[in-house]
Amino acid sequence: MDQPAELDLNAEVWKLSGTKQDQVLIYVAVAVAAQGMILCVVLVTTGRYISHFRNTDSQLTRGGVILGSALACGAFGMQCFQLQLYVVHATSDIPSVLRTDALCNTAYRLLGGIFSLVAMTFYSNRIWRLSGRRWTVIVPLAVLIFSAFALMLATVVIGFTFPILTHESLPSMRSFFERQTAVVRAHGAVTFASDAIISGSLVYLLLRTRNSIFGAEGDRGIVSRILIIMGEAMVPPTIAIAVLTIGTSRVGGGAIIDWKRILFATLPLLYYQSLLYSLVARRKVRRLLDERGVAAQYRLESSHTTKQHKAAVGGSSSGRDGARVTDSAGREASGSADQLKGDRLEW
């Protein structure tokens, strides 16, 4: 291709994209920065998880966490590669840059779909347990989850058919973008519906189930309780997928080069971080239950001391009172142990 024809093709592609090179660089750079910040949080949370649960959780769970964190690092590396493409080659060869970017985004969409599937399956299992293992709850959730995953696979298949941009293929690109955008919006709508139902159900069930546990913290623990439950109920990625789906209203294509790039780049890591946060947050519940167990044990020992003292001075009736206190403290300690067992299984 001679130089004038190449310049003309670059101009046509930029016109088709509906944006400018400077704007694209800003959006891609901000997306990489946002993803990098979330990745730092993911790595810190991964370290906390391994530190707290390396001896209690199964080897499969620990291996899955390490693999997920490695994939998150790989996703960040791919976003950096895409930024490098725009910085170095966007001026001279934007058709190749846009196609490579679109193919990378398709692979990234596949990774996000896998993270979403794992997260929604994990949270659906929690809902099933917290609701008393009702099959009428889990079956509709399973239908929504696998419908969203199937639509994600459809978007991936279409994305990998992104054509080579030439003068001959440009006239058909708009119809390709329209078809791709329709499938992407359908996938986003079903995913948002699944996320919203799961998040809403978890918020309700966790607030109801943990009221007796976190109630010991008093009013000062309300904000902390809400933030913990929001993080554990997959609320952040649900909000992100809602905004991203609403924003996918015009023809865009696989090369996401506007403000949606920021949400698109961070969404898979938001799913994964929410899952990690749920795993690590179990430690706070266990700590509160352990504190109650220590308090119950302290009251148990105190009641024994009181009983012995009153028995020494001939307080037979007081001895019966001390026995009742001892029995009450023992039941409280037993209750804390039962709650801790429930935490391992359901929280």
Measured CA to CA in angstroms, residue 45 lies from 279, 305, 307 at distances of 9, 44, 47
> pLDDT (tens digit, 0 to 9) for every residue of the chain, 347 residues total?
445 555 578 888 888 777 788 888 999 999 999 999 999 999 999 999 999 898 888 999 999 999 999 999 999 999 999 999 999 988 888 899 999 999 999 999 999 999 999 999 999 998 998 888 889 999 999 999 999 999 999 999 999 999 998 888 888 888 888 888 889 999 999 999 999 999 888 888 877 765 555 554 544 455 566 666 777 778 889 999 998 888 765 544 556 788 889 999 999 999 999 999 988 887 766 665 555 554 444 445 555 545 554 555 454 444 444 444 444 444 444 444 444 344 443 44
| Residues 193/194/197/198 CA torsion (nearest 10 deg) | -150
Which residues have C-beta within 8 Å of that of residue 253, sequence separation ≥ 6?
102, 162, 173, 176, 177, 180, 181
pLDDT of amino acid 88: 92
CA nearest to 104, candidates 257, 211, 242: 257
pLDDT of amino acid 4: 53
Neighbours of 19 (CB within 10 A): 15
Q: How would you write 204-268 as a 3-class SS string?
A: HHHHHHCHHHHHHHCHHHHHHHHHHHHHHCCHHHHHHHHHHHHHCCCCCCCCCCCCHHHHHHHHH
Give the predicted TM-score (pTM) of the model: 0.78
Using DSSP's 3-state secondary structure scheme, residue 133 falls into: coil
pLDDT of amino acid 307: 52
pLDDT of amino acid 22: 83
CA nearest to 280, candidates 71, 69, 37, 48: 48
Neighbours of 152 (CB within 10 A): 23
For the chain, the C-alpha Rg in angstroms (whole number) is 27
Question: How remote is the C-alpha of 239 from its chain's centroid?
Answer: 11
Distance separating alpha carbons of residues 203 and 192, to the nearest angstrom? 16
Which residues have C-beta within 8 Å of that of residue 304, sequence separation ≥ 6?
322, 326
- Sign of the dihedral defined by the CA atoms of residues 280, 282, 285, 291, in that order: negative
